[in-house]
Amino acid sequence: MFLVSEDFVASTHGGLGCITCHGGENAMDKAVAHNEMDPYPSRNFQDNCGTCHADVAGVYETSIHYNLHGMANGLLEFTDYTQLSDSPHHEEVFDNDCFKCHATCGDCHVSRPKNFSNGLVDQHTFLGTPSMEENCYACHNARNAGEYMGLVGFGGDVHYDMGMTCMDCHPTSNFHGTGEVGEDMWAEELPSCLDCHEDKDPAVATDVNHRVHGDSLSCQVCHAQANNNCFECHLDEKADGSGLASSSEMKIMFRVGYNPNPTEERPYKYVALRHVPGQESMLEVVGEDMMPNYDEKTNWKYSPTHNIQKSTFQNESCASCHENTRIWLKMDDLRETDSKANESLIPALPPSLDH
Amino acid sequence: MSKPKILDKWVTSLVLVAVVGVAALGIYQFGIKPGLPEETYAPINGEEAGEDKPFAFDSIDSSSCVACHTNESVIAASTWGQDKPVAENTGG
């Protein structure tokens, strides 16, 4: 049972009355009062939240926080299917495991996500700007948000130390959607370091490091710390039979390799990498031959690691990077369960300082 | 023709003019042009109902909900949720 503050009851949202959004009946008998009550009214956000917030509700279905297109398309990449509905087995995986990260309005603006610890953030007060600790971290804990806050990896992010939150860099459209359906998060208008650090653009930079490296290295190669990597993910039935759950080995590492997917926005030759969970047999609990294209996709991915520092062990000197064989991805890093495609990311490095 | 006696006093004349004026304005607003000025709201996504438009439904009396959900002793005594799972590491 959740405690609602009297301040909330007196607020604009509180003035609507609980039953307006949650349903149920105005009765002193507990069973009657909770009859057909919906604890998560924002699952029907068009009819509830959208009555007043039509601008957001009108586009939210295009948000990857809502539709999880990044996860769906990532799963489909391993198959020859073009949509999940073509394969009941893949649809089962998505619905019973991936989709637990699906978020609606209340998961960010009122309560903690159901999958994290649930419960109200602040006695039902509606937060216009979600709490980084209670909301963003709740889902993005093992990687970007955890790294940013110094809870995963070597240390936190200098921007976090300066008091910045996720929303100081990420525009609202990254959460609410734009009305355009994107394939994954890379289709979003993501923040760039150069948005603030314009003087580090290699075209105008006055320091030799940014002029020489800026076009070929992502910012994280020099300024990120070690990140959290997941290996050999496996999907199993939950012990209570209530669905599927995945588990994997986690390891703090720092690896640099070739860019798996150079684009106009991120054309860099070398990038910081992160191993994402996966192995060819990971979905066998659901069906056979679930990932026929497994060896065509890399497990090591472009990592926008969120634990930036101005000074890192790899940018201390030229030699700390160029002569440091431990930070470059190499054959020894690849596991038997890894995709063969990872071999294309192993650079012929470290580059000599002689040229 | 003699002037009505009621108009002999200039104060009485002023009051009479005011009463006639208010009556005329009232007839115009409620008879000739009934209704209040139409409210306008900022359009959003082509919809006429903008964000500042009041919600279309009235609040429903929820006094029974508030009676328990703002009462800390009731909350503390509740066993609701004790059988619910605790937080998982989402791995995200």
Smallest CA–CA separation between A292 and chain B, in Å?
A: 25
Say whether residue A158 is in contact with chain B using an 8 A CB cutoff: no
Asked whether the bond before A262 is cis by omega within 30 degrees of 0, the reply is no
How much of chain B, in percent, has pLDDT values that exceed 90? 17
Q: Is the pLDDT of residue A135 over 90?
A: yes
Q: Which residue has the higher pLDDT, B12 or A327?
A: A327
Contact at CB, B61 and A4, closer than 8 angstroms: no
Is residue A295 pLDDT above 90, yes or no?
Answer: yes
**Range name among A149-153, B17-21, B26-30 with the lowest pLDDT average:** B26-30
CB contact (8 A) between residue A246 and residue B68 = no
Q: Rounded to a whole number, what is the distance in Å from the CA of B48 to chain A's nearest CA?
A: 11
Task: State how far the Cα of B6 lies from the Cα of B16, in Å rounded to an integer.
Answer: 10
Helix, strand, coil shares, percent, chain B, to 5: 45, 0, 55
Residue A101 confidence (pLDDT): 85
Residue of A nearest to B91 (CA): A142
CB contact under 8 A, B88 and A116: yes
Q: What's this model's pTM, rounded to 2 decimal places?
A: 0.81
At residue A355 the predicted structure's pLDDT band, cuts being 50, 70 and 90, is: very low
Distance between CA B71 and CA A245 in Å, rounded?
Answer: 37
Report d(CA A52, CA A317) in Å as an integer.
56
For residue A307, is pLDDT > 60?
yes
Share above pLDDT 70 across residues of chain B, in percent, rounded to a whole number: 49
Instruction: Convert the pLDDT of each residue in A171-199 to its tens digit.
Output: 999 999 999 999 999 999 999 999 999 99
Q: Within chain A, what is the greatest distance between any pair of CA atoms?
A: 82
Q: Is A54–B47 a contact, with Cβ atoms under 8 angstroms apart?
A: yes
Q: In chain A, what are the domain boundaries? A: 192-355
Average pLDDT of B13-20? 89
Q: Please tell me the predicted confidence (pLDDT) of residue B85.
A: 61
Residue among A59, A82, A62, A58 nearest A72 (CA): A82
Smallest CA–CA separation between B42 and chain A, in Å? 11
Query: What Cα–Cα distance (Å) separates residue B42 from each residue in A55, A60, A85, B89?
Result: 11, 20, 40, 43
pLDDT beyond 50 at B36:
no
pLDDT at position B57 is: 59
More confident call, B18 vs B52: B18
Going by C-alpha positions, the residue among A202, A250, A196 that lies closest to residue A228 is A250
Q: Are A24 and A34 in contact (CB under 8 A)?
A: yes
Q: Check pLDDT > 60 for residue B53.
A: no
If you measure CA to CA, which chain A residue comes closest to B78? A1
Tell me the domain boundaries of chain B: 1-36
The CA distances from residue A289 to A168, A177, A282, in Å, are 43, 34, 10
Give CA–CA dist A43/A172, Å, rounded. 20
For A80-113, how does the pLDDT look when each residue is reduced to its tens digit (9 = 90+)?
999 999 999 999 999 988 888 889 999 999 998 8
Q: How far is CA A52 from CA A92, A152, A283, A287, B85, in A?
A: 35, 39, 42, 45, 33
Inter-chain contact B81–A1, Cβ cutoff 8 Å? yes
Q: What is the dihedral of CA A68, A72, A75, A76, to 10 degrees?
A: -160
**Residue B54: band (very low, low, confident or very high) from pLDDT cuts 50, 70, 90:** low
The C-alpha R_g of chain B, in whole angstroms, comes to 32
Q: How far is CA A160 from CA A138, A145, A157, A337, B77, in A?
A: 17, 10, 5, 36, 39
